Structure 1
Amino acid sequence: MTNGSDNSMSTRRLNQVRNSFYVYLPRPWCEQHGLTKDSEVRLQALPDGALLVIPPDSGTRHAQDAVLSVTSQTSADIESMLTGAYVVGASSVSVRFNGPIDMSMRERISEWTHRLPGFEVLDESVDHVTVSDTSEKQMVMPILKRQFSTTKYMLGVLVESMKTNVLDDVHRIEPRDNDVDRHRYFVERMCHLALTDTAYARRVEMSAADCLHFSVAAKKIERVADHVCGAASELIQLGGVDKSIAKIGEGIAEVYDDTARVFFSTDRPKRKDTVTVSSDDESFDLVRRAHEMARRIAQVETAKKGLGPSLVLLLMHLERIASYCADIGEVAINRLIHKQMLSAMVTEEAE
């Protein structure tokens, strides 16, 4: 809070009435936001101990969500349905299908969403895709989740193709890598804004540590996606792999799923929430498993004689994916320790 529209700081003496303290708000600031004696402001306690006074005109508009139910008969109109929801002002559009969504449909939704300024695909699962407006409040965490999610589906298609040796969808993997790259740049841009604009950082609730962790994670996920594409290219050259190699791919997919879950389970602490970090935490277990998976793949590379160059390269890509999962797990450990430090700081202030 400042005296007016500039960035000057002011000092106010606390006053006391019975058991409560109060402070006068600067009149220029109140006039700037149209406040009267009947107005309400919001108070937000920040992790660093500061108290933020938020005027009512700083809020965003109420979100308007739309749900599009798509069947095999209406799937041809998906572009028109998305455009209609966009034009009428929907903030979020959940596109739900009555069965699993194939890669071709996912590409159509992703490509059309690029034509709708401010809209991004923020989540996807087996049978639904969620498209949301990020133009009013740029959201780092949902975009980062989207990057994890896209890479998960790329890896899933790769592993399923390795298991079945049916390569029809493998060529669809590489175009999705463009989304992963785009979201990495988006996360880095938002982190840069948060580090250089404290007002923006407060609005999106990002600390400097968050910026570091998110930026590193986005870079690592981008590298995972690159290696998925590399592995897909070698799989096409091979025409298929045996069951032992496919089993390695399944193990990689499991480690990646746990990587995403562990990373996003480490949230900002609540007040008076005490966190104890130990080597028994699942973040440490994930790092150990990922390193072990990378070591096992390296052993396969050296133990099997006569491996062709494409199979050697495929195994190398899988090994790098496991190593990057370990790197992301280490970022999750850093987030966990940072959470403990903030919790201890809050508890100390309360006492």
Structure 2
Amino acid sequence: MDSVEERTIQEIRGSYIIYLPKEWCIKNGIRKKSRVRVRYAGPTLFIEALNEISNKKVVTIQIHKMNEKMLQYIIIALYLLGIDKIRLISRRNISLKERRVIRRIIESFTRYVISYEGKNFIDLSCSYIQYDIWTSIFKVFNSLASILNYFLEILTRKDKFSAEDLEEIEAIDSEIDLLRHDFERMFSKSLINLKSEVNLDLKSQDILVRIVIIVERMIDHLNALARLSVENGHSLDAISTYIAKLNSTTNHIIKILENIRDTKLYGIKLNNFNGVIQTLIDIIQVKVTFHTFLERDVIIDIVKYHILRLYDYITDITELLLDWIVKIYYIDYEHMLHM
């Protein structure tokens, strides 16, 4: 159970002293000469017991009590929560078919690997990931840009999507799903353990996780549009202008993210703050205009729905970026100046 209390700082021989809560010390085996890890970010100080055992915890799942889909969602949820070790156990011997299902689940949706297995159990452990959060976030947006360019190329030729085109988009979609799981896991571990595997504060991590989730939903809608063309023969020629605008907006967002990355990594003040804010405001305001244009254009309702959702989502991303940039400019950078 979490506990919050105020304590008074003491000064002894020129050093500042704070007494640790006795209950916390007992619970974590802290005694005289025990070592702790001290971390700080801005005004926040973290004290972590080095013999803390939560990372060693093994979650046990009784798999004979559940079907394949239930097992899939539970394993994904535990991955997102930051659990490193899972034991899958059954009252009976685990069949070859069940083992194949488990392998498919962990390979498709997580980065767990099978570390050990017996007749009636399988141990999973998370393969170590050295998070490069900026490489990952740019990979997410470059994937979105690739799909939009793919759409534009096909629409320019006035072709319909083929089954091969759809497979390629679905492959990118699956890759983004896994990256989204990685981002959520990273954030969960930061919240649970009060320490980060990446050099970003919790608010910044929260914004990135929400952005990646939104991009994943955008790709789902693009996937659905391609599927309409393949399976129902719907022409998508009328949406080329909207796709081009989405592509242009995505490229603007990538440049803004590069600006944020340089600020976060190197402590450089945001380049052209007013210009960046105005660009984001312009993107937000375009949404209203495009809603009006869509109502006028002759586009079937299901296609119109997907385009509207895409513009809603790109606006959501823009608003999150605007909040993040204001935080960096007025709070993070000002704090750095006074350190």
State the distance in 2 between where 1:212 and 1:325 align: 17
Q: Specify which of 335, 341, 344 is matched with residue 324 of structure 2.
A: 335
> Aligned residue for 1:219?
213
Q: Specify which of 174, 179, 191 is matched with residue 178 of structure 1.
A: 174
RMSD: 4.2
> What TM-score, normalized by structure 2, do the two folds share?
0.57
Structure with the bigger percentage of helix: 2
Instruction: Give the alignment of 1:99-138 within 5 angstroms.
Output: 135-138=128-131
State the distance in 2 between where 1:210 and 1:154 align: 26
Q: Specify which of 205, 225, 228 is matched with residue 222 of structure 2.
A: 228
State the distance in 2 between where 1:135 and 1:276 align: 35
Distance 1:229 1:162, change over 3 A: same
Alpha-carbon offset, residue 189 of structure 1: 1.4
Instruction: Give the alignment of 1:171-210 within 5 angstroms.
Output: 171-172=166-167, 173-198=169-194, 200-201=195-196, 203-210=197-204
Alpha-carbon offset, residue 227 of structure 1: 1.3
Q: Which amino acid aligns with 2:192?
A: T
Aligned pairs, number: 244
Structure 1: give runs of 5+ residues left out of the alignment: 1-10, 22-26, 34-42, 53-110, 120-133
Distance 1:147 1:285, change over 3 A: same
Distance 1:270 1:161, change over 3 A: closer
Q: Which amino acid aligns with 2:243?
A: G
* Contact 1:187–1:215 (CA under 8 A) maintained in structure 2: yes
* Contact 1:140–1:190 (CA under 8 A) maintained in structure 2: no
Distance 1:142 1:135, change over 3 A: farther
Structure 2: give runs of 5+ residues left out of the alignment: 1-8, 16-31, 48-103, 113-126
> Aligned residue for 1:314?
303
Q: Deviations over 1:94-123 (max 9, x none)?
A: xxxxxxxxxxxxxxxxx9xx69x969xxxx
Q: Which amino acid aligns with 1:322?
A: Y
Identical-residue share of aligned pairs (%)? 11
State the distance in 1 between where 2:308 and 2:258 align: 23
Q: Does 1:345 align with 2:335?
A: yes
Q: Does 1:159 align with 2:152?
A: yes
State the distance in 2 between where 1:274 and 1:45 align: 22
* Contact 2:260–2:270 (CA under 8 A) maintained in structure 1: no
> Aligned residue for 1:145?
138
Q: Which amino acid aligns with 1:208?
A: L
> Aligned residue for 2:314?
325
Distance 1:147 1:334, change over 3 A: same
> What TM-score, normalized by structure 1, do the two folds share?
0.56
* Contact 2:144–2:219 (CA under 8 A) maintained in structure 1: yes
